[in-house]
């Protein structure tokens, strides 16, 4: 065990690590400047339980009913060796529906090296026929760590190319789905596309072998009849690759983490709050939909410009306190040299607000 792995295990405490998935990778790369999340995710900390332990439970996630419904829909779509799924994917891609296709389930045992090798062997087999691969185990480098991704997805090989297939339980009503859920599915699918491309690249294949078009399968209207749509994830792939390249390695992050930092769930809540407060976070309102610790970080950021969102924070040129922003806008204090431009904009905004409230300039 490396020194970094040993340190991460100490931070987590005496429990097995939670594994990364596409959602955690997407959320982490969506906010690469958040050291707190990067360290906790690298350590495999159970963030939902940690949030509950410190009194700020997460308020998002699927209900048990939604999870049950989603599992039932996925099982229905994949029934009979994926025959219906194969038809949906082929028709959406505009290729003839194959008379037959192989189905390989790569899930099962929890022996990660064995599963990864089985996935590599199956996905790099030079077969020419149509094939469906369920639950392949993929890998991706995140902050200098190799993480295993265990997606509930199907990789479909049709017409000589792979397409990632995402089965989701949110409905498509009158041809439209919830934009936020579609956007989240696109980002998560991009994680799988990138991981699959890297697996094939190690065998000498070019990225074009894995299509940037993801097939999204959802229930139509309010029934369980599936419908397939195409998602172009090129933009998400570019952003994901860029953010992964920008992320600091975990060794560098740990160098700035206090030696006594802990996220051990057996620790006293006050101790955990004090420990978390000593590791830099980068809160933004978008975190509320992506990170289990967002409500704690929002509480911590109260009175700071970060709580107003990244565009506001960046427009204010690094002014941290809301009280300082108001004082500069009112002309109650002189700006520092580096705050001159932001202060001028704040004073102009204050004049515009006053004019709007009074009906126009005096």
- Residue bearing tokens 């009913």: 65
What are the DSSP E strand ranges found in the chain?
A: 102-105, 131-134, 138-142, 145-149, 153-158, 161-167, 213-219, 226-232
Q: Is the pLDDT of residue 150 over 80?
A: no
DSSP state string for 301-315 = TTTBGGGG-HHHHHH
Judged against a pLDDT cut of 60, whether residue 362 lies above it is answered with no
pLDDT digits (tens, 9 = 90+) for 240-259: 998 888 887 888 889 989 99
pLDDT for the residue numbered 326:
76
Residues 245, 220 contacting (CB under 8 angstroms): no
Q: Are 287 and 31 in contact (CB under 8 A)?
A: yes
Residues whose CB falls within 8 Å of the CB of residue 355, separated by 6 or more in sequence, listed in order:
361
Q: Residue 315 above 90 pLDDT?
A: no
- pLDDT over 70 at 360, yes or no: no
More confident residue, 147 or 194: 194
Mean pLDDT of 324-336: 75
Quote the pTM value: 0.79
Sheet with 102-105: list strands edge to edge: 102-105, 131-134, 153-158, 161-167, 213-219, 226-232
**Residue range(s) occupied by CATH 3.90.320 in the chain:** 64-240
| Phi and psi, residue 168, nearest 5° | -120, 150
Is pLDDT at 177 greater than 80 in this prediction? yes
Mean pLDDT of the chain: 86
CATH 3.30.160 corresponds to the domain 64-240:
no
What is the pLDDT, as a whole number, of residue 343? 73
Backbone angles phi, psi at 33, to 5 degrees: -85, 0
192 and 153 Cβ atoms separated by less than 8 Å: yes
How far, in Å, CA of 43 to CA of 48, rounded?
14
pLDDT (tens digit, 9 = 90+) per residue, 115-129?
A: 888 999 998 887 778
Asked whether the predicted pLDDT for residue 353 surpasses 80, the reply is no
């Amino acid at each position: 065990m490396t020194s970094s792995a040993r340190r991460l295990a100490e931070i987590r405490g005496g429990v097995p690590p939670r594994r990364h998935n596409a959602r955690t990778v997407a959320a982490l790369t969506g906010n690469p400047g958040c050291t707190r999340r990067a360290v906790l995710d690298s350590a495999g900390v159970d963030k939902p339980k940690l949030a509950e332990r410190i009194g700020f439970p997460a308020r998002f996630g699927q209900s048990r009913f939604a999870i049950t419904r989603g599992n039932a829909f996925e099982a229905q779509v994949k029934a009979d060796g994926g025959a219906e799924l194969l038809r949906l994917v082929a028709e959406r891609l505009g290729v003839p529906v194959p008379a037959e296709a192989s189905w390989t389930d790569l899930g099962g045992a929890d022996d990660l090296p064995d599963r990864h090798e089985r996935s590599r062997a199956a996905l790099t087999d030079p077969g020419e026929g149509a094939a469906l691969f369920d639950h392949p185990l993929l890998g991706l480098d995140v902050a200098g760590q190799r993480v295993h991704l265990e997606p509930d997805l199907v990789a479909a090989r049709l017409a000589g190319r792979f397409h990632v297939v995402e089965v989701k339980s949110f409905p498509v009503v009158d041809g439209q789905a919830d934009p936020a859920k579609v956007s989240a599915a696109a980002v998560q699918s991009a994680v799988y596309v990138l991981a699959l491309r890297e697996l094939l690249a190690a065998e000498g294949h070019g990225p074009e072998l894995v299509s940037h078009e993801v097939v999204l399968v959802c229930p139509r209207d309010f029934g369980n009849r599936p419908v397939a749509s195409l998602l172009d994830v090129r933009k998400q792939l570019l952003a994901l690759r860029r953010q992964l390249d920008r992320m600091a390695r975990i060794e560098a992050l740990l160098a700035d983490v206090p030696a006594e930092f802990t996220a051990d769930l057996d620790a006293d809540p006050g101790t955990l709050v004090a420990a978390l407060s000593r590791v830099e976070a980068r809160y933004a309102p978008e975190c509320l939909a992506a990170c289990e610790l967002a409500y704690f970080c929002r509480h911590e950021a109260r009175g700071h410009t970060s709580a107003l969102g990244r565009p506001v924070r960046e427009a204010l040129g690094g002014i941290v306190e809301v009280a300082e922003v108001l004082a500069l806008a009112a002309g109650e204090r002189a700006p520092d040299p580096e705050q001159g431009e932001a202060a001028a904009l704040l004073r102009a905004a204050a004049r515009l607000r006053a004019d709007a409230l009074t009906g126009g300039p005096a």
